[in-house]
């Protein structure tokens, strides 16, 4: 009897020893229904003297601070003024297929916005019937912080019957896109998005190549280009060229290749220096990323076929031209680390003011009370993740390491960074400026950027489901804070 009682006590003690720590971790993971991102995790200044594990000590960001609400675009008469109306409804794609989703001005993708470099752009977002609210993020456009469109960070979500106006100068010519950043893992997936093209302020001397946008998005399991399924015609005269602006709005990478030679003119809205012709190679375009290709229609009157994934393509050639068969997927991948020719960067990464690490992993634990195997940043689970702190004018080096078992398209808001190396191999080609970077499992990238756009900026995985599962943090400038909260009366939920 005494032995049985002893065994019972021992087993009970062992159970308590297991349950009590689990209970503590569960409790520690719970997130209030309303909170500020300024109070998340711990400060990482990237300085040699950094007290990098001061949890909850973000006072330097609050005292005497500038509110992100003050960091707005300029006043004045806009050069481009657009109203975008967001709805939840049953929609008909350009292909004719009907789905339930979200529309912008009655369609998805929403209307393409075009401006010329230097234009003041004004966009009024009206929420007619999106029940969770909506906010528009200008993906890749380095707008002032108040115009970034992240619910709970730079604004409150726009409720049904409400509207919000964004104003920014289109400073950099290039290919971009807009999408909701309120419950984004659902709203973007279901179509609340559209393309943005900023044209060069200097018009070409001649007509230049035809200019076409190819926005790739998967609706209900089927990839489309501008809402069209299969092969989409791009009418150009025999022997003439087209600038094909490919935008990947999906959660994973898409591969692009062609049955003719092509050039990569730009990546993520930044022109490459002296790009060369490519044949028999494929380009991997990360989630959220863009690439501008120069494609020339064959001289024999047929069409060039630009494959965007296996099921969708552009046919570049005379209207009604014979469509070539689907070319085999090339074995060789375009390596942008060594493509094109070097050019000045405008910053000195070797003399960086701050150096930070963004180590992506995966480990068991609790996420807001839910047990699972979750993404981690520097060994920490959300919300106990680093808050990277910088000062305006800093040159920042960031080392991104992926040991998580999956690919992650990393997206830094408000800035473009230059890729310095991959797995220790130094870049030798054109400066490769990115706002979205494909980081495969086992890869390590070094990037650098100039902290020249004050605010509180998201830095997250653009597989938006991953971001909703905790693969998200923030870059904050000293002396800047946000008055907005996640949750609250506006029910802000950026991911």
Contacts of 23 (CB under 8 A, 6+ apart): none
- Residue 370 φ then ψ, to 5°: -95, 120
First to last CA, the chain: 57
How far is Cα 271 from Cα 265, in angstroms, rounded to an integer? 6
Q: CA torsion, points 453, 458, 464, 465, in degrees to nearest 10? A: 170
Q: CA distances (Å), 274 to each of 10, 377, 431, in order?
A: 73, 37, 11
Q: Are the C-beta atoms of residues 252 and 302 closer than 8 Å to each other?
A: no
- HSE value, Cβ hemisphere, 13 Å, CA-based, for 407: 14
Q: Are the C-beta atoms of residues 213 and 314 closer than 8 Å to each other?
A: no
Q: What is the DSSP letter of 23?
A: H
Contacts of 444 (CB under 8 A, 6+ apart): 399, 400, 401, 402, 422, 423, 424
Global pTM reads 0.94
Q: CA torsion, points 136, 139, 143, 149, in degrees to nearest 10? A: 20
How far is Cα 193 from Cα 177, in angstroms, rounded to an integer? 7
Q: Are the C-beta atoms of residues 448 and 349 closer than 8 Å to each other?
A: yes
Rounded to the nearest angstrom, the gap between the alpha carbon of residue 210 and the centroid of all alpha carbons in its chain is 27
**Going along 220-261, which residue ranges are E strands?**
222-225, 231-235, 241-248, 254-258
DSSP per-residue letters across 476-490: EETTEE----BBTTT
How far is Cα 157 from Cα 136, in angstroms, rounded to an integer? 9
Walk along the chain (495 residues) and give the pLDDT tens digit of each residue.
566 665 655 565 555 554 556 665 677 678 889 999 999 999 999 997 554 445 554 544 455 589 999 999 999 999 999 999 999 999 999 999 999 999 999 999 999 999 999 999 999 999 999 999 999 999 999 999 999 999 999 999 999 999 999 999 999 999 999 999 999 999 999 999 999 999 999 876 665 789 999 999 999 999 999 999 999 999 999 999 999 999 999 999 999 999 999 999 999 999 999 999 999 999 999 999 999 999 999 999 999 999 999 999 999 999 999 888 999 999 999 999 999 999 999 999 999 999 999 999 999 999 998 999 999 999 999 999 999 999 999 999 999 999 999 999 999 999 999 999 999 999 999 999 999 999 999 999 999 999 999 999 999 999 999 999 999 999 999 999 999 999 999 999 999
How far is Cα 462 from Cα 495, in angstroms, rounded to an integer? 10
Structural domains of the chain, ranges and CATH numbers in brackets:
29-68+345-481 (2.60.40.420), 80-199 (2.60.40.420), 210-333 (2.60.40.420)
**Going along 181-230, which residue ranges are E strands?**
193-199, 210-219, 222-225
**Going along 105-181, which residue ranges are E strands?**
113-116, 120-127, 136-139, 163-169, 174-180
Per the listing, tokens 């653009």 go with 462
Element (H, E) at 292: strand 290-296
């Amino acid at each position: 009897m005494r032995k049985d009682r002893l065994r019972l006590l021992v087993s009970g003690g062992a159970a308590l020893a297991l349950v009590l720590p689990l209970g503590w971790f569960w409790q520690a993971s719970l997130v209030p229904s309303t909170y500020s991102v300024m109070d998340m995790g711990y400060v990482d200044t990237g300085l040699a003297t950094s007290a990098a594990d001061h949890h909850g000590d973000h006072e330097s960001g609050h005292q005497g601070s500038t509110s992100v609400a003050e960091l707005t675009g300029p006043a004045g008469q806009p050069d481009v003024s657009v109203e975008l109306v967001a709805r939840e409804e049953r929609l008909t794609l350009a292909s004719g297929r009907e789905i339930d989703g979200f529309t912008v001005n009655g369609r998805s993708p929403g209307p393409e916005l075009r401006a010329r470099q230097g234009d003041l752009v004004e966009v009024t977002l009206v929420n007619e019937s999106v029940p969770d609210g909506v906010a528009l993020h200008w993906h890749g456009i380095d707008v002032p912080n108040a115009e970034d469109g992240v619910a709970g960070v730079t604004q409150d979500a726009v409720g049904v019957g409400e509207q919000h106006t964004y104003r920014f100068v289109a400073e950099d010519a290039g290919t971009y896109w807009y999408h909701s950043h309120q419950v984004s893992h659902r709203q973007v997936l279901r179509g609340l998005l559209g393309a943005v093209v900023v044209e060069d302020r200097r018009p070409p001397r001649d007509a230049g190549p035809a200019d076409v946008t190819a926005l790739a998005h998967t609706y209900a399991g089927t990839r489309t280009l501008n809402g069209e399924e299969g092969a989409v015609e791009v009418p150009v005269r025999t022997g003439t060229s087209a600038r094909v602006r490919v935008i990947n709005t999906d959660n994973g990478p898409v591969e692009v290749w062609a049955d003719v030679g092509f050039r990569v003119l730009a990546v993520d809205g930044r022109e490459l220096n002296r790009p060369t012709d490519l044949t028999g190679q494929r380009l991997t375009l990360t989630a959220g990323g863009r690439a501008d290709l120069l494609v020339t229609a064959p001289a024999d009157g047929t069409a060039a076929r630009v494959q965007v994934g296996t099921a969708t393509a552009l046919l570049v050639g005379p209207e009604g031209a014979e469509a070539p068969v689907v070319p085999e997927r090339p074995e060789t991948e375009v390596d942008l680390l060594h493509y094109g020719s070097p050019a000045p960067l405008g910053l000195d990464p070797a003399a960086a003011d701050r150096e930070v690490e963004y180590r992506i992993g995966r480990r068991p634990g609790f996420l807001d009370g839910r047990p699972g195997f979750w993404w981690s940043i520097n060994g920490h689970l959300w919300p106990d993740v680093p808050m990277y702190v910088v000062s305006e004018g800093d040159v920042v080096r960031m080392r991104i390491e992926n040991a998580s078992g999956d690919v992650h398209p990393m997206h830094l808001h408000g800035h473009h960074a230059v890729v310095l190396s991959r797995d220790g191999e130094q870049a030798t080609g054109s400066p490769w400026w990115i706002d979205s970077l494909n980081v495969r499992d086992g890869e390590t990238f070094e990037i650098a950027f100039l902290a020249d756009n004050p605010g509180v900026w998201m830095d997250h995985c653009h597989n938006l489901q991953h971001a909703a599962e905790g693969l998200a943090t923030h870059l904050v400038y000293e002396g800047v804070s946000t008055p907005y909260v996640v949750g609250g009366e506006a029910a802000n939920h950026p991911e």
